[in-house]
């Protein structure tokens, strides 16, 4: 599941601190910054093998990330080690969605992007809906798919803890939208 806003963030460093706090982040596993603008939607629609957006790795320590210089059209992306999903989200999803629907699905991985980047929903290799340039997006996922993805998609956004999380994002960053099948490559 992904949550995003296309509203301007103001200072991205303040937004990063807010997300770090909201998700109870200990650290990040991996991080990179774009070199120039995001072209993920162009890449998806062109079905090219080579990425159109150039990136470079960055240090994942919070002070180092906060010291990163970004041009107005660049973004950072972090794979976060967050406590909130395993402490709150997974038990709530498992409580409210039956095992026969979930299977082994356990959404505990968190990716964060700050800065202008494409957000789109994919329902097949060539069937996508482009939402626009997000300024912030948070993707919470599992590498395993649920047994019944459509049923999970229909139920997950009504789990009270997910609703509360989405509202907390909206309280901090303005209007927030969500999608299930996201397109979110570099």
Give residue-wise pLDDT tens across range 108-144.
888 889 999 988 876 655 667 888 889 999 888 888 8
Whole-number percent of the chain with pLDDT over 90: 19
Give the phi and the psi of residue 55 in degrees, each rounded to 5: -135, 165
DSSP reduced 3-state for 118:
strand
Which domain, by its residues, includes 86?
2-183
| Residue 186 pLDDT exceeds 80 | no
Quote the number of domains for the chain. Answer: 1
26-30, 177-181, 182-186 — which is least confidently predicted? 182-186
Task: With CA atoms as reference, report the closest residue to 44 among 109, 130, 106, 108.
Answer: 130
Q: Which pTM does this prediction carry?
A: 0.84
Give residue-wise pLDDT tens across range 33-86.
888 878 777 766 666 555 557 788 888 778 788 888 888 888 998 888 888 888
């Amino acid at each position: 599941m992904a949550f995003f806003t296309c509203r301007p963030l103001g200072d991205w460093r303040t937004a990063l601190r807010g997300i770090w706090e909201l998700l109870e982040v200990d650290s990040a596993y991996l991080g990179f910054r774009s070199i120039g603008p995001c072209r993920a939607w162009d890449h998806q629609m062109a079905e090219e093998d080579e990425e159109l957006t150039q990136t470079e790795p960055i240090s994942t320590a919070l002070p180092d990330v906060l010291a990163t210089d970004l041009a107005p059209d660049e973004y950072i992306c972090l794979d976060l080690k967050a406590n909130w999903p395993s402490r709150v989200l997974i038990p709530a999803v498992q409580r409210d969605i039956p095992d026969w629907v979930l299977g082994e699905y356990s959404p505990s991985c968190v990716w964060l992007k700050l800065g202008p980047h494409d957000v789109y929903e994919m329902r097949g290799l060539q069937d996508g809906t482009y939402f626009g340039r997000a300024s912030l997006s948070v993707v919470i996922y599992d590498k395993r798919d649920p047994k019944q993805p459509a049923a999970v998609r229909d139920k997950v956004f009504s789990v009270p803890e997910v609703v509360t999380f989405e509202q907390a994002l909206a309280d901090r960053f303005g209007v927030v939208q969500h999608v299930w099948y996201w397109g979110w490559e570099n």
